Amino acid sequence: MGSACRFVLVLLVAWEASAAELRDAARRGDLAAVERLLAAGAPVDSTDGGGATPLYLAAGEGHAAVVVRLLSAGANPQRQVSGPFGSTGTPIHAAIRYGHLDVVRALLEAGVDPNLPDDGVGPPLHTALRRGQTAAAGLLRSFGARPIRAEPVDALISSADPAAGRLTAVACAVCHQLTKQPGLAKQGPPLWGIVGRPKASVPGFEYSASLRTLGGRWTYEELNSYIANPRSFVPGTQMEFRGIAEPELRAALIAHLRSLSDESKPVR
């Protein structure tokens, strides 16, 4: 091995060591060690074997002062931690999960979006409500967390491809009954007659508090936003389906749901 290669290897080992030390100091909440390591050039956004950064670790342990220092050093508060089944969230999700309100506030005051999307666990408000962290939910709302509506697809429903809608509904059938006749109880309520039906109204199903308090009926507009991203439109919902981003697919599915009725509702 040449001298240049040995030098690079030494630098790489030193870099990895300082990165591991910074993550460990952040996890412990050792602000003095964090300061020393940052001054020595430790990488602020390095990740451990599970993908966690120093900021994520500090947020999850509730070390607000360390969180603020890492943010000032340029740590990325939107970086997702990836697990075997997708993202397990960002630093604000980690703080909410364990009820660290001072960390949640520090992240929000630093400009973290209270509606920050996450394809694995949903937006921060969804995490708060699913975890029963009502104080965190209130704090998020005070910074602007809200239900997110999807791009309308009413104009696409009438001309949507019925075959595409039926195909997409196959996935729905895993948890929902699609026929009118009574059948085996499934995890979710039946979808026959869903268009125009009052929300959370099928007897025998334990709906989330978020859906029960939403009120109103399942209009095309409401169904569209829910199908696009259930956890963003109804934070706290028990339906963990990630949603359908493509407007054409949503329109096709809604067109199929419209046909699951004795009398199809007109499209506006």
For the segment 94-123, the average pLDDT, to the nearest whole number, is 96
Average pLDDT over residues 206-235: 95
At residue 13, the pLDDT reads 42
Distance separating alpha carbons of residues 194 and 218, to the nearest angstrom? 7
Give me the domains of the chain, ranges plus CATH numbers. Answer: 3-142 (1.25.40.20), 154-259 (1.10.760.10)
Cα(128)–Cα(64) distance, rounded to whole angstroms? 18
Distance, CA of 130 to CA of 208 (rounded, Å)? 9
Residues 125 and 206 sit within 8 Å (Cβ to Cβ):
no
Mean pLDDT of 96-120: 96
Length of the chain counted residue by residue: 268
pTM here is 0.89
DSSP reduced 3-state for 101: helix
